[in-house]
Structure 1
Amino acid sequence: MNQKSRDKVKKWFWIIVISPFVLVVFALLMVGIFTDIPSFEELEDPKNNLATELISQEGEILTTFHIENRSYIAYDEMSPDLINAVIATEDARFYNHSGIDFKSLARVAVKSIILGQRSSGGGGSTISQQLAKTLFPRDTVVSKIPGAATFNLVVSKFKEWITAVKLERNYTKNEIVSMYLNSVFFGSNSYGIRAAASTFFGKHPSQLTIEEGALLVGMVNKPTRYNPVINPDLSLARRNHVLNQMHKYHYIDQATCDSLKALPVKLNYNPQDHNSGTSAYFRDMLRRVMNAEKPQRSRYRQYDDYRADSILWRDDPLYGWLNKNHRADGTKYNLDKDGLKIYTTVNAKMQQYAQEAIEEHLSKDLQPTFNREIKWKTNRPFSNNVSKTLIESIMNKARKWSDRYRNLKNAGLSEEEIMASFSKPVRMSVFAWNDRKYIDTTLTPDDSIKYYKSFLRAAFMAMEPNTGYVRAYIGGPNYRFFKYDNARQGKRQVGSTIKPFLYTLAMQEGYTPCYKVVNVPQTF
C-alpha cells in the first residue's frame, strides 16, 4: 500500500471514529438551544396576563385590576372587518400556509438581504409566527461576543418557526387570529383588541367600523409611532395603508376604500389606568376587602375593630376571598393576572351620575365658597385662631405620611435633611378643578401640603334599601390625587343623616310630620 492510500485510510478512520462524538455534541447543542421551545401543554395554556374585570349590574365593564390591561374575547365577538384588516395587512396568505409563508421569506431574502432594500423589503413573519413571538418572547440578553447577536436572532427565528407550526397543528385558523388580537400591544396601556377598542373608541370590538378597525390594526406594527393621540398624521397615513391593503386583497371595493380614506380620525380616547375612570375608589376598596387576612387580635389596638373584622371574616364570603379560595394547585389567585370576573351590584349609569354630581357640587359650589372664606385668613387654609404649635403638628404628620418622606428615609437621609427638602421648590403636577384635573407648577412640598388641605372632599354611596345592594360608590373627588376613601375609610358621626330614618320610624308609630315634640331630655 502506497503512502497516498495509507493517508486515505487514516482519514476515513478518524472520520468514522470522531463522527459519533461530533454528532452527540451537535445533538446536545441543539437540545440546549431548542430546549425552551414550548410544549403542547404550554401551547394549550399560554401564560398571558389577563385583567380581572369588575362588571356592573347591566353587564358593562366598570374597571379592571391589571398589570397588562388585557381582556380576552372570542373570535365571534370580533368584527369581520377587523379580522379582514389584520389578514390583509399582516398575513395575506394566512389561510394558505401552515405557520411559515415561504413566499414571504423568499421576498424578504431577495429585497432585504440581496438587494439591500431595508425599508421596502417588508416582513416575512406570519400571524402564527408573530403570535409565537408574543406568547413566548425572544431572549433579549445582550452579548459582547462577535456574531452572537446574529446567531441569537437566527436561533430565535427557528424557534418561532417551530412554535408557529405547533400552533397551527394545535389550533384552528380562527383560534390563532383570535389569540393574536387578544395578545398584541396597541399602546396607551392597551393589551389586546378589547382594551384597545375601549381605550381609543369607547366600543366593544364587535362594534368597530371598518376605518376604526383599520386604524387599530395599523398601530400593531409600531404602537407609539402610529398612536393617533401622539402622532395623528402618521396614524391617518397608516390607517389608509391598511385600507389600501384591504382593497388590494378584495375585502373592500375601490369606492368604499376611497370614501373611508377621506374620513377623518374620530376618537373617544379613554386611557385605562389605575387612576382613571369612575370606579377607581370602588376597585381599591374591593382589592383591600378581598385581600384581607384572617384577623389576629395582636394586630388590633381596639377590640371592637378586631371583633367587627372577625365577624366579617366568618360571615362575608367576599371578605378575604383571595385567602379563603385557591386555585386547583393550591396557589393564591392574583387579581392583576388571572382574568377573574367579579360581578357587582353597581349600576354603571348611576356610578357615572354620582361622579358627575360630586364634581359639579364641589367645583361649582362648595370649593368656590370655601376659597372666598379663607382668602383673607393669615393661616390659610387653617383658621386664624389655630395656634402655630398645632399647625406645625398637623404639617409634621402630613410630611411623615407622604411618599417623599418615606422614599428619602429609605434612601438613608437624616431627619434634618428630609425636613429641609420640604422647603425647596420643585416642579410638580397638582390637582385643580379644570378640564385636565391638574396643573403643572412649581411649589415647595410644604406649600403643596397646604394647597391640598385647602380642598374640600366628598363621598357618595347609593344603596338599595330593600336589598342592601350598592348601586353607586364614589370615595372622593379624584382618585389620582386623593387616594383616601372617604366612603369606607372615613369614619364620621352620622349627624342629620339619621333624621329620615328617625322620622320614618316616628310616622310608622302614628306620628304626623306636624306633630310637635317638646325639645327637652326624656327618660324612658
Structure 2
Amino acid sequence: MAKASSSSMFSKILLFKTSWFNKVVKFTWIAFLVVLVGVPLYIYSVIWNPFNLFGEMPSFRMVENPQNDLSSEVISADGASLGRYFRFNRSAVTYDQLPPLLVKTLIISEDHRFYDHAGMDLQSYFRVVKGVVLGGGQGGGSTLTQQTAKNLFHTRSEELRGHFGYLASPLDMLISKTKEWIIAVQLEKNFTKEEIICLYLNTVPFNNNAYGIKVASETYFGKSPAKLDLHEAALLVGMLQGTVRFNPREHPERALNKRNQVLHKLLDHGYIKTEKAYDSLKQLPLDLNFSVQNHNEGLATYFRTVLRQDLDKWCKERDIDLLESGLKIYTTIDSRMQMLAEQAVAEHMSKVQRDFETALGSRNPWEGAGGEEITDFLQKKIKRTDIYKTLEKRYGAGADSIEIVLKKKKRMKVFAWGGDKFVDFSFYDSLRYYNRFLQTGLMAMNPQTGEVKAWVGGLSHRYFKYDHVRQGMRQAGSTFKPFVYGKAMEDGYSPCTELLDISPTLKVSGTVYRVKNANGTYGDGTKYTLRHGLAKSLNTITMQLMEKMQPKNVVDFAVRLGITAKLDPVYSLALGTSDVSLFEMVGAYCTFANLGIRTKPFYITRIEDKNGNVLQNFVPQTEQVLDENTAYTMVYMLKGGVEEEGGTSASLSTAVTLGNEVGGKTGTTDDASDAWYIGITHNLVTGVWVGGDERSIRFPSWGEGASTRSALPIWDRFMSKIYAHPEIGYRKGYFKQPKQFTRSFDCDGASDDSAADYSTGR
C-alpha cells in the first residue's frame, strides 16, 4: 500500500515537472518567436505605418539629408553678426568651431559611451529598466544620437502621432522612442560621430528663443561657443536636462547646482584633474551676460527692419523661406561705425530733448501755423491707432466704453533717456508722452563705393518703429540749396560770381513773392560771392539763382544726382519745400564728392545659402551724371560753410576740421519742424535729420530748433568718434581733384586763401 502511494506521488511529481518543462519550453519558443518575428514586424510596422496606426516616419532620404531649419543671419562688413530673421532663433556651427572642452563636457555628461555605441546604448536601457523596477529616477537612457533624432524630426510632435498614440501615454512614448531608435541607427550609418555632435548642438533648444549652441552662447554669455569657459559650457550642458527647470535666469540656484553636478562628472571621469580645480570652478558665479535676441535689440535695428522688406521680396521671387533657410546676408554696414553712430545720436539727442522740454515748459509741442496749440491733436491721432480700431469694433463707433478704456491707467514700461521706466499711464497718457519726443535719423555712406556704412533710423526701435532714413519724407530746407548752386556751376557760373543780398521780386500765380533771410530781412544789399552766399545760407542769393536757372531745370539736376522723390518745379523749391528722404539726399551729395559719378546707395554685398554657396552678388550701380569739374567746384562751394566768415558749419570742432577737408550744409525749415545737416569728406558723406514724428511738433522758436543746435552736433560727434578710431579705416584727407581741372578760383576777399589752397589740391 505504501509502495502504491509512493509510486503515485512520484508519478505526480514527474507529471508536474514534465508539465512545467513543457510550459517553459513553450514560453521560450513563444518569446523566441516574438523576438524573431514580432519585434521586426513591430519595427517594420512603425516604419511603414499601416492605416496611420503609428504615425509618420521621416523617409530614409530625409535622414540622410536632414533639413535643420535655420535662422537667416545679417552680417556686417567687418564680420560681426548684426542680427537674425527667424521663426526659431537658430544658427549652425561647424565642428571646428566647437571648443574641445564643450564637446568633452557634453559627452561625459550626456552620453559617455557615445563613441562606443552605434546609436543605441543597451547598458543605459538596462539601467532605466532597473530604475523603473526598483524605483527612483534613473534618467531617460537616450543617447545623443537619439536626442538628435528627436530634435531634428520632432518625433514627439502632434503631427507624427498615429492612432495608437492616442490610446495610452506609455504606448505613445514607446512608439516615439522606437522611431528615435530607428532614426538613430540610420544617422550613425550616414554621419560621423563629429557630425552627429554638430547636428545635436545645432538643434537642441535652450529656452528664451535660443536654439542651438551658437545662439545659446550668445544669449546667455554674449560670446561665441569657441570662447566659452569650462564652467560656462557646464552650465549650458546642464540646461539640456531641463531647459525650463535649469534656466539660469529664472532659477539661478537650481542652475548653479546642476552646473556643479556636471563639473563633478568631469572630475569623476578625469577631465578635471584635481579636487582643488573642481572646488575652484564650483565657487564661480553664473556670471551671465544675458540678452535675448530679437528685432528690437542689438545694432542697426532700423536698418535690419528696412533690409527685411527687401529680403522678403527677394526671397519671394525665389521661393525661399527667409525665416528658416539659414541665409547669410552680407551687408556694407560697419558694426564699429554703426555703434559710434548710435552713440553719437544718443549722446546729443538726450541733450536736444532736455532743451526741448525746457523750451516747452508746460506747453504741448503740437502747434498750428500761427503757433497756437492744436487742441484736438491727441483725439485725432488716437483714432488712427490699432487699439482704437479694435475698441471700435468691440463696442461700436462713438461708444462711451471706448473713452473709458482709453483713459484707464495701467502699469507700463516706457522709453526714457535715463533708462526705461515704469509708469501708470492710460493710452492717452502714453500717446501724449511719446509725441513729446523729438526723433532723428542718420546715414553714412562711402561716396566712391556707394556702401552704406551706418544707419540710425530713430531713438529706439522697441518704442519707435518708424524709420527716419528711408521711410521718412520731410522738407529738406536749405540742404536743397546746393542743387540750385550746382545747376548754376554747371551753366558756367563761378563760386566767385557776386550777387547783392537783395530779395528778388517774383510773380507767382498773379501775386508778388519775396523771400526773407533767416534774420527776417529782405537783405541788406551787401555784395557776396556765390560761395559766401551759400556758406551763410542766404535765401536772397539762392532765390536770385533760382530765378536765373528756373525751377524745372533745378528739378532735372536734382533728379540726375539721385533724388527720386516728387519735386514741385516752383521757386520755393530752392528753399527745400518738397519732401525728400535722408537716404536719397545723402546719395545725391555723394555725387559731388565722387567727381560727378552718381553711385546708388547699396547695403547688401552678397547672399549665401546655409552651405556657403553664393546665391547672388550685389554691385553698386554707377553713372557719370555730372562733369568732374562741376562736381569738384561744388565740393569747393560746400567747403565754404566751414571756411568762409559766418559760414553755417563754422561751429564744427577742430577734432574734425583740423588737417581735413570738410564741406557741409545746414537746413532748418521755416517753422523749425525739420533740422538737417549733411557733411562731406573725401571718403564719407553723412546726413542727419532731427524733428518730430508729426510736422506740427516743433521747438517754440526757429533759433532753438536750428540745425546748428540739433543736427550738426550729431554729425560732429559721429565724425570725431570715427577719427578717434583710425583702425576703422576712415581717416582724414583731401578730396580727389579731376585730372584735367580747367577752373581756378581767385576770388577777391575772404575766400582767396582757401581758393588758392583748393586749386592746387594741397
Q: In which range does the TM-score fall when normalised by the shorter chain?
A: 0.7 to 0.9
Is 2:256 the counterpart of 1:272? no
Q: Distance in 2 between matches of 1:148 and 1:90?
A: 28
Q: How does 1:462-473 map to 2 (within 5 A)?
A: 462-473=444-455
Judge conservation of contact 2:56–2:162 (CA < 8 Å) in 1.
Answer: no
| Secondary structure at 1:459 match in 2 | strand
The aligned residue for residue 366 of structure 1 is 352
Instruction: Give me the whole-angstrom Cα distance separating, in 1, the residues matched to 2:286 and 2:481.
Output: 53
Q: Which residue of 1 aligns with 2:133?
A: 114
Q: Does the aligned pair in 1 maintain the 2:409–2:426 contact within 8 Å?
A: yes
SS at match of 2:83: strand
Name the amino acid aligned to 1:370: F
1:348 matched to which residue of 2? 335
Report if the CA contact (8 A) 1:52-1:336 is conserved. Answer: yes
Equivalence for 1:402: 385
Q: Output the amino acid matched with 2:327.
A: L
Shift of 1:322: 2.4
Task: Name the structure, 1 or 2, with higher relative contact order (CA <8 Å, separation 6+).
Answer: 1
Offset from partner CA, 1:162-208 (integer Å, 9 cap, x none): 11111111211111111100001112211111111111222111121
Query: Which of residues 153, 157, 169 is equivalent to 1:136?
Result: 153
Give 1:505 deviation, angstroms: 9.9
- Cα deviation, 1:92-117, whole Å, max 9, x if unaligned, reads 11111111111111111112x11111
| Alignment counterpart, residue 123 of structure 1, candidates 140, 145, 148 | 140
Indicate the SS of the match to 1:94: coil
Deviation at 1:35, TM superposition (A): 5.5
Q: Which amino acid aligns with 1:68?
A: F
Structure 1 residues 88, 406: CA separation in 2 closer, same or farther (over 3 Å shift)?
farther
1:94-493 alignment, distance < 5 Å: 94-111=114-131, 113-118=132-137, 121-137=138-154, 138-140=156-158, 148-254=168-274, 255-291=276-312, 320-324=313-317, 326=318, 332-363=319-350, 365-377=351-363, 380-383=364-367, 390-392=374-376, 394-409=377-392, 411=394, 413-416=396-399, 417-435=401-419, 438-493=420-475
**Inter-CA distance 73–511: structure 2 relative to 1 (3 Å threshold):** same
C-alpha deviation, 1:366, in angstroms: 0.8
Give the 3-state SS of the residue equivalent to 1:391 in structure 2.
coil
Relative to the length of structure 1, the TM-score reads 0.80
| Residues 97/355 of structure 1: CA separation in 2 closer, same or farther (3 Å cut) | same
Q: Report the CA distance between 1:501 and its aligned residue.
A: 8.3
Task: Determine if contact 1:34/1:159 at 8 Å carries over to the other structure.
Answer: no
Decide whether the 8 Å contact of 1:52 with 1:342 is kept in 2: yes
Flag structure 2 segments of 5+ consecutive residues without an equivalent: 1-37, 497-527, 549-762
Question: Is the 1:71–1:192 contact (alpha carbons within 8 Å) kept by the matching residues of 2?
Answer: yes
- The alpha-carbon distance between structure 1 residues 203 and 507, as it changes in their structure 2 partners (threshold 3 A), is farther
- Over aligned residues, Cα RMSD in angstroms? 3.1
Task: From the superposition, tell whether residues 367 and 133 of structure 1 become closer, same or farther in structure 2 (CA, over 3 Å).
Answer: same
Residue 215 of structure 1: SS of its match in structure 2? helix
CA deviation vs aligned residue, 1:77-131 (integer Å, no higher than 9, x gap): 11110101111111111111111111111111112x111113xx22311111111
* Cα distance in 1, alignment partners of residues 481 and 398 from structure 2: 49
**More strand as a share of residues:** 2
Q: CA deviation at 1:272?
A: 0.3
Count the aligned residue pairs: 458
8 A contact 1:51–1:68 mirrored in 2: yes
Q: Decide whether the 8 Å contact of 1:381 with 1:450 is kept in 2.
A: no
Task: Quickly say closer, same or farther: Cα 1:387–1:505, change in 2 above 3 A.
Answer: closer
Secondary structure in 2 matching 1:472: strand
How does 1:17-36 map onto structure 2 within 5 Å? Answer: 31=50, 32-34=52-54, 36=56
Residues 340-373 of structure 1: per-residue CA shift (max 9 Å, x gap): 111100000111111122122122x011111222
**1:425 & 1:66 partners in 2: Cα distance?**
35
By how many angstroms is 1:147 displaced?
Answer: 5.7
Secondary structure of the residue aligned to 2:471 is: coil
Q: In structure 1, give the amino acid aligned to 2:411.
A: R
Change (3 A) 1:175 1:410: farther
Distance of aligned partners of 1:343 and 1:415 in 2 relative to their CA distance in 1, 3 Å threshold: farther
Mark the CA change 1:516 to 1:158 in structure 2 (over 3 Å): closer, same or farther: closer
Deviates more, 1:503-512 or 1:82-91: 503-512
Q: Contact between 1:33 and 1:155, CA under 8 Å: does it hold in 2? A: no
Q: 1:98 to 1:48 in 2, by over 3 A?
A: same
Alpha-carbon distance between aligned partners in 2 of 1:115 and 1:340, rounded to the nearest angstrom: 50
- Contact between 1:459 and 1:476, CA under 8 Å: does it hold in 2? yes
Q: Which residue of 2 aligns with 1:299?
A: none
Q: Deviations over 1:188-235 (max 9, x none)?
A: 211111111111222111121212111111112222332222222222
Question: What TM-score results when the alignment is normalised by the length of structure 2?
Answer: 0.56
* Residue identity in the other structure for 1:335: L
Higher helix share: 1
Give the 3 Å change call, closer, same or farther, for CA 144–79 of structure 1 in structure 2. Answer: closer
| SS of the residue 2:281 aligns to | helix
Residues 46-125 of structure 1: pairs in structure 2 closer than 5 A: 46-111=66-131, 113-118=132-137, 121-125=138-142
Distance (Å, rounded) in 2 between the aligned partners of 1:233 and 1:35: 40
In 2: Cα distance, 1:449 partner to 1:157 partner: 54
**Residue aligned with 2:375, SS:** helix
In structure 2, what is the Cα distance between the partners aligned to 1:375 and 1:156?
67
Could you say which residue in structure 2 is the equivalent of 1:306? none
1-structure distance, mates of 2:484, 2:336: 30
Q: Which moved more, 1:121-130 or 1:224-233?
A: 224-233
47-56 vs 341-350, which moves further: 47-56
What corresponds to 2:608 in structure 1?
none
Residue 92 of structure 1 contacts residue 249 of structure 1 at CA under 8 Å; is this kept in 2?
Answer: no
Distance 2:226 2:331 in 1: 24
Is the Cα contact below 8 Å between 2:220 and 2:288 reproduced in 1?
yes
Output the CA distance in 2 between the equivalents of 1:503 and 1:256: 74
Give the fraction of aligned pairs with identical amino acids, expressed as a percent. 39
Residue identity matched to 2:471: Q
CA positional deviation for 1:502: 8.2
Alpha-carbon shift at residue 474 of structure 1 (Å): 1.1
Could you tell me how far apart the structure 2 residues matched to 1:34 and 1:147 are?
11
Work out whether residues 231 and 263 of structure 2, in 8 Å CA contact, stay in contact via their aligned partners in 1.
yes
In 2 relative to 1, CA 210–507 (structure 1 residues): closer, same or farther, beyond 3 Å? farther
Distance in 2 separating the partners of 1:259 and 1:480: 41
Q: Aligned AA for 1:322?
A: C
Contact 2:395 2:402 in 1 (8 A): no
In structure 2, distance between residues paired with 1:194 and 1:284: 23
Task: Pick the structure with greater CA Rg.
Answer: 2
Decide whether aligned partners of structure 1 residues 357 and 225 sit closer, same or farther in structure 2, where only a CA change above 3 A counts: farther
